[in-house]
Amino acid sequence: MDGKIRVETMVSGYRDAMVLVAALKTGIFESLGTAARTPAGLATDLNLDTRAVDIVVHALAASGILIKAGDTFSIDPEVRPYLLADSPDTMASLLGHNVRMMAGWLQLPTVLRTGKQAPRDKTTPEEMRDFICGMENVSRLSSLEVVDKVDFTSAEKLLDLGGGPGTAAITFCGANPDLKAVVFDLEGPVGIGAEQIKAAGMEDRITTVAGDFHTNDYGSDFDVVYISNIIHMLSEEETRGIFRRSRACLKPGGQILVKDFFLEDNRLEPAFAAQFSVNMLAMTAGGKSYTLTETLELLKETGFGEFSSIPVAKGSQVVCGYRES
């Protein structure tokens, strides 16, 4: 691909994303469901402008998300499971969370001048739910991979730190009948977690604790601490802090599991992690995509050893370590 095409492709990448998210947030996909509908019918049901809906659904069909047949449009069956909220494979909340991220990315020129995260309004309840349920969308398959590759059979008590919707705890306990878990997160996220735990019928084995993992006590006597997709939101000092607190809540010889997408030492690969670091620049005060080497050094500094790493999901790894006495 020549240089001009590379630049044009890169600068126009926002178009498909914005159209997809706009259709999601205005209810177009949910209104379509498994049916075929006209733009006018969608506009009437959703109280949207008919001309605007007509233009957007044609753009979605041109991108292969919708299928046009005569005057009607339907969702391509290959993508439908990821767009509808009631699908077991849904990515709807994660896609919706992109609205907030897009607002931050638009302020990157200011971020580059100031070195500070993009200014943003207070998170609304809808945005918080999109984020937390989006993390469920992300965690659903990766948690199954983790439980398939990590041996929890000797563990009795696990801490899912920053566990939000409780997806990992539910998956791990579902596969290990002797395991009990605590999901520790802020009040809003663990409220959603409690809903998910109840729906899974695991209230007797999984509890929730509302707290700030930077300042509050995590409890004690855990065999395992699981930290999934958390450290990329944190500065190095904040990461050291949660590693120290994790060590303190573990039994001697207890295990820490840190899941994230780690960069190679050149910080170029995988490309997704390098790009996601820009997201953390825009959206957090000190977060970034960490290299595996940086993460291991932080764990060593805070009293862990005997490291190994396990590839899971797309571009992610679980770093395993043990509390040293």
pLDDT band at 256 (very low <50, low <70, confident <90, very high): very high
For the domain spanning 3-86, the CATH number is: 1.10.10.10
Distance of CA 307 to the CA centre of its chain: 25
**Average pLDDT value for residue range 14-27:** 95
pTM score, two decimals?
A: 0.89
**Sequence spans of domains, the chain:** 3-86, 134-265+286-323
49's tokens: 């402008």
Confidence of residue 122 (pLDDT cuts 50, 70, 90): confident
Question: In terms of pLDDT, which residue wins out, 208 or 98?
Answer: 208
| ω into 311 cis (within 30 of 0) | no
Q: What is the mean pLDDT of residues 263-269?
A: 95
| Burial class of 231 by CB neighbour count within 10 A (0 to 12, 13 to 18, 19+) | buried
CATH 3.40.50.150 fits 134-265+286-323, yes or no: yes
Question: 29 pLDDT exceeds 90?
Answer: yes
Q: Is the pLDDT of residue 217 over 90?
A: yes
Selection from 85, 82, 55, 51 nearest residue 68 by Cα: 55
Cα separation, 73 vs 156, whole angstroms: 52
Residue 321: predicted pLDDT: 97
Of 85-89, 97-101, 207-211, 246-250, the range with the lowest mean pLDDT is 97-101
Sequence-distant (≥ 6) Cβ neighbours of residue 104 within 8 angstroms: 117, 118, 120, 279, 282, 283
Closest CA to 167 of 204, 128, 139, 133: 139
